[in-house]
Amino acid sequence: EPEVTQTPSHQVTQMGQEVILRCVPISNHLYFYWYRQILGQKVEFLVSFYNNEISEKSEIFDDQFSVERPDGSNFTLKIRSTKLEDSAMYFCASFLAGVPYEQYFGPGTRLTVT
């Protein structure tokens, strides 16, 4: 069964450093997403990406965040200058289109900012 993969599984970084979280969505999917989940809380939407551009973003997704799909395979989330409150589990998801409305989630990257 096709799956979304994410690397690394765990990233530890110091406050102020840049991090890049990587995802390989399912190959024929058209929509790509980043979500985050702070420990013990609900999953929160960050950004959606379609046709090589951001289609929607949340208030969390400020100027410190950016996304790229550099090579038609990988989908990355960059945080330019990490803050302690960026510590969370980051999930990548992809969606083909149509129904069922099934966004496939990756296993997540746990980001710890110290």
Partner 1 sequence: GESVGLHLPTLSVQEGDNSIINCAYSNSASDYFIWYKQESGKGPQFIIDIRSNMDKRQGQRVTVLLNKTVKHLSLQIAATQPGDSAVYFCAEKIQGAQKLVFGQGTRLTINP
Measured between alpha carbons, how far is 101 from 65 in angstroms, rounded to an integer?
A: 26
44 touching partner 1, by CB under 8 A: yes
The minimum distance between CB 113 and partner 1, in angstroms, equals 20
Q: Considering only the stretches 13-21, 64-72, 77-85, 102-110, report the one whose residues sit in contact with partner 1 under the rule CB under 8 A.
A: 102-110
105 touching partner 1, by CB under 8 A: yes
Return the CA Rg of the chain. 13
Give phi and psi for 78, each to the nearest 5: -110, 135
Q: Which amino acid is at 113?
A: V
Q: Closer CB to partner 1, residue 44 or residue 66?
A: 44
Q: Are 104 and 97 in contact (CB under 8 A)?
A: no
Q: Which of 14, 28, 42, 53 binds partner 1 (CB under 8 A)?
A: 42
98 touching partner 1, by CB under 8 A: no
Long-range contacts of 51-55 (CB under 8 A, 24+ apart): 55/31
Structure tokens at 62: 């400020």
Q: Closer CB to partner 1, residue 85 or residue 102?
A: 102
End-to-end Cα separation, the chain, in angstroms? 37
8 touching partner 1, by CB under 8 A: no
Residues at the contact surface with partner 1, assessed by CB under 8 A: 4, 31, 33, 35, 41-45, 48, 50, 55-56, 58, 91, 93, 95, 99-108
